[in-house]
Amino acid sequence: MRGWRLRRCRSDEGAVLILALIIVTVVALVTGMVLTRGDGSLRATIALRNVAATTYAADGAAQVVLNGLRTGHWDTTDDEAGNVPIPNWVFTNGAGTGCFGNNDADPDALDDPDEDLVLSDFFPAAKASGEGPASAYVKCAGEEGTGEEGSERIVNANNSPGWAITTLGTGGEDGVYNFNKVLKVRGGIRSNSNINANKAISVEDADVRSKTGSCTNVTVSTGYTCATNGGVDASEYDAAKYDADVASISQTCTTPQPTCWQPVPACSGGRATFSPGYYDDAAALEGLNGCNVLWFQPGTYYFDFHNSSTNGDPLFEAGIVGSTENQWTINGPKVIGGATQSGSPPTNATPIPGACRNPVDDVSAQGVQFILGGDSRISVGKDSLVELCATYRSTRPPMVLYSPRPGNTDFGGNPSPTNLTGVATGMTTNAAASATAAGTHGTFIGGTQAALQNQGNGTALWARTTTTGGNQTRTLTMSGFQPSQTVPKGSVVTGARVVVRHRNSVAAANSASLTITPTAAGASALNTYNFTPTSTSTLGDQTVSLKTALTAAQWGLFARGVHDYGYTGATIAYGAVLPAATGAIPTRSAEVDFVRLELDYYVPQLRNTAAISNNCVSTVASCAQFESDKRSEIYLQGTTFLPQGKVEIGVSNTDYQVFRWGVVARALHGNLNGAYKEEGALIELPDQSPGLGLNTTLVQFDVYVCPDSDTCDDSGKLALKVRAQIWDVDGIASTTSDREITIMSWSHQR
């Protein structure tokens, strides 16, 4: 046993060291990886925090700008001394203005519109960062063609006829007809009957449609067609957007109103200036053909001529108006309608076209609307220049020439007569009468108001007892005779009577008389009318019709006076003639119980064409409601709307004739020949436009952010781009509650 030695194994101390080193290495690697990853996350967190801060700062700066544009308020603390912003300043993108306050004299002032906006120390930094606040810098500008730089003119289906020419007639005459030279149209044609292009019709930018006929000699722009398989539904033009600008003629015209009767003004200094209202005398208008300029101030003009006695017009009475035609023929003068471009009354030197502000180019244009009532017509004669501008409308066509559509209930038939008659509505004195001096032959006594108003309340009596001195006259003068309702200017009198209850003991010829003097300013007194009483011993009623008793001239004077000045009352002088007394009881007497004035008249109203029997306006192939001579120049700056009438256009040797914003008529006939110089369209529609005027102002602004800086400029980080719409609902630039801001785009920059 002693020979065996046990073999000794090696020590494991080295293995433990290796294991320790492996563990340490793994831990170190894991720790390193964890620390590296954590550092990356920390760096990312810090970077994201900085991005968020920049974004928030940019968003906040943009909100400041948008709120300022909406409210008009800007901080003025940095303005230099003496710079006081305009109260309620509002950005409208006008010339010389900017987004950030009113313009001032110093271009270096912070809030000058020529400068941009600096928001110093605007956005606080995180406390842990140890940095100072961030500042922002904003560059803002209005977009060209918007706001005051743009047009508010909206042209769409609401305020446009849809076609340059629309004819509503259904047969018996050509809907659209052209003779000789090319008729150029921009905006399309639609006819409810046919198109007869005897000579060429050239149509730009739209289709042509008719129910019958052919497209021979009709050319259209590339991409458009002419067809005879369609017409126009008249109901399209039976809507409120084709109503007139007025709905009635005023019954009370004590002060000037747009629908009151107006006298035709005199020509003074070469110009006659018209006020809006109702005109009924074509002859008086034609009497101004020797005047240089006829200027119709902005407003509505209703023409309803009562010059013809052969058309069944009950408003007409011979002697009231003195022509035989219900047509106003313009022959020689310049006729201008609407506010002028210069802002001053036009003169003979005022150029046409361009005399008035037209709605095609200017939405603030205040123009005219000529309404043709009844069978009234207008003819523009040779060598006449006419420019009529309509008022711009955003919801209906700016109609410059108008006659009622059949379905327009504002325009009715002839008005019903008003009769101020009898005890109930007849007119009597309102005061005690005055009598001529008694002298030696006596005079009327007892002429109280009550006695002379009604039967049975006493009488006025003149009893003569003298036997010398021959025939004597005594007059009882009464005032008042006021109507129970207003009889306005423009009223047409059809009858008038004086009813007198009286007696004369000697009913000789011309032993009674009446003298009537209307009290309305401007009215003329009538000649004395002598008559014979029908009663001698007892009181009796006697009616004297002024229309038949007076001469035609005197009746016309009375009727014209009521028409021109209205009727407000009158004085009536009743005269009695008594001869000298004879016999044992030499008494002669005249006695008056009451005197009453009665009046029959019409107050004009808006009348449709159908109110006139035998009229030529709505008769197929008869007279035109509007026509122009070949040598006239006309510019109708607005829609011509004559749905029951025909338009006849003659053009020859003139520079221009232009119908802008379309024509709607029963028929349209053209006769173009000679040296017609107009190269553009004779009849046109304006281009469709959404309107970018004061309703809509677009702005763009860039926001720069400068972290840890008390100032900033465009060298900082471009953080945000914004495009916004400023919308003033009523079209009036205001910072009140109706101003709205809409964000069109909001783009953060990396």
Domains of the chain: 15-151+693-748 (no CATH), 165-222 (no CATH), 262-409+606-684 (no CATH), 418-602 (2.60.120)
CB 242 within 8 A of CB 641: yes
Q: Is 412 exposed, middle or buried (0-12, 13-18, 19+ CB in 10 A)?
A: middle
User: How many angstroms separate the first and last alpha carbons of the chain?
Assistant: 91
Chain mean position to CA 551: 44
Is residue 732 predicted with pLDDT exceeding 80? Answer: no
Is residue 466 predicted with pLDDT exceeding 80? Answer: yes
Is residue 235 predicted with pLDDT exceeding 80? Answer: no
Which range scores top for mean pLDDT: 117-126, 140-149, 504-513?
504-513
Residue written as tokens 């306050």?
101
Give the phi and the psi of residue 165 in degrees, each rounded to 5: -125, 125
pLDDT, position 109 = 42
Distances (CA, A) of 680 to 185, 372, 455: 8, 29, 77
Is residue 39 predicted with pLDDT exceeding 60? Answer: no
pLDDT, position 6 = 35
pLDDT, position 315 = 59
Residue written as tokens 């019409």?
602
pLDDT, position 399 = 97
Is residue 348 predicted with pLDDT exceeding 60? Answer: yes
Give Dmax over CA atoms of the chain in angstroms: 215
Give mean pLDDT, residues 227-248: 85
Which range scores top for mean pLDDT: 37-46, 414-423, 472-481?
472-481
> pLDDT of 88-125, one tens digit each?
678 888 877 778 765 444 434 444 444 578 888 888 88
pLDDT, position 366 = 93
Distances (CA, A) of 48 to 40, 392, 640: 12, 55, 66
Q: What is the pLDDT of the chain when averaged over all its residues?
A: 84
- Residue 436 CB coordination number (10 Å): 16
Q: Could you say which DSSP state residue 623 is in?
A: -
pLDDT band at 545 (very low <50, low <70, confident <90, very high): very high
Distances (CA, A) of 363 to 236, 389, 401: 25, 11, 18
Written as six digits, the tokens of 619 are: 């008769």
Calculate what percentage of the chain has a pLDDT beyond 70.
83
At residue 22, the 3 state secondary structure works out as: helix
Give the phi and the psi of residue 307 in degrees, each rounded to 5: -90, -20
Tell me the residue type at 43.
R
Tell me the C-alpha distance between 361 and 28, whole Å.
82
Is residue 736 predicted with pLDDT exceeding 90? Answer: no
Q: Which residues pair with 478 in a beta bridge?
A: 572
CB 236 within 8 A of CB 257: no
- Residue 532 CB coordination number (10 Å): 12
pLDDT band at 44 (very low <50, low <70, confident <90, very high): very low
Question: DSSP readout, 278-302?
Answer: EE--HHHHHTTTTSSEEEE-SEEEE
pLDDT, position 28 = 63
Q: Could you say which DSSP state residue 246 is in?
A: -
CB 185 within 8 A of CB 164: yes
Tell me the C-alpha distance between 449 and 229, whole Å.
77
CB 151 within 8 A of CB 688: no
Q: Could you say which DSSP state residue 144 is in?
A: T
- Residue 159 CB coordination number (10 Å): 20
- Residue 136 CB coordination number (10 Å): 29
Weakest mean pLDDT among 195-204, 287-296, 472-481: 195-204
User: Residue 636: left (phi > 0), alpha (psi -120 to 50), or beta?
Assistant: beta
Nearest to 639 by CA among 333, 125, 243: 243
> pLDDT of 401-413, one tens digit each?
999 998 888 999 8
Residue written as tokens 């000058």?
112
Tell me if the bond preceding 353 is cis, omega within 30° of 0. Answer: yes
Which has more confidence, 130 or 182?
182
pLDDT, position 84 = 57
Strands 165-167 and 189-197: parallel
pLDDT, position 624 = 94
Dihedral Cα 403, 406, 411, 416, nearest 10 deg: 130
Tell me the C-alpha distance between 387 and 341, whole Å.
12
pLDDT, position 316 = 56
pLDDT, position 517 = 97
Written as six digits, the tokens of 39 are: 């550092």
Tell me the C-alpha distance between 135 and 137, whole Å.
7
Which range scores top for mean pLDDT: 257-261, 324-328, 442-446, 689-693?
442-446
Which has more confidence, 323 or 60?
60
Which has more confidence, 345 or 750?
345
Question: DSSP readout, 660-673?
Answer: ET-EEEEEEEEEE-
Q: Which residues pair with 500 in a beta bridge?
A: 542, 595
Weakest mean pLDDT among 167-171, 421-425, 470-474: 167-171
Give mean pLDDT, residues 289-305: 95
Strands 512-518 and 529-531: antiparallel
Tell me the C-alpha distance between 324 and 282, whole Å.
9
Is residue 159 predicted with pLDDT exceeding 50? Answer: yes
pLDDT, position 208 = 94
pLDDT, position 102 = 55
CA angle in degrees (0–180, nearest 5) for 374-379-380: 145
Compute and round to an integer the Cα radius of gyration of the chain.
44
pLDDT, position 238 = 84
pLDDT, position 42 = 41
Question: DSSP readout, 527-589?
Answer: PPEEE--S-SSS-EEEEEEHHHHS-HHHHHHHHHHHHHH-B--EEEEEEEEE----SSS--EE
Distances (CA, A) of 228 to 108, 189, 586, 666: 68, 11, 97, 18
Task: Provide the residue count of the chain.
Answer: 750
Q: Could you say which DSSP state residue 148 is in?
A: G
Tell me the C-alpha distance between 599 and 496, whole Å.
4
Is residue 81 predicted with pLDDT exceeding 60? Answer: no
Give mean pLDDT, residues 636-652: 93
Calculate what percentage of the chain has a pLDDT beyond 90.
51
Is residue 18 predicted with pLDDT exceeding 90? Answer: no
> pLDDT of 720-731, one tens digit each?
999 998 887 666
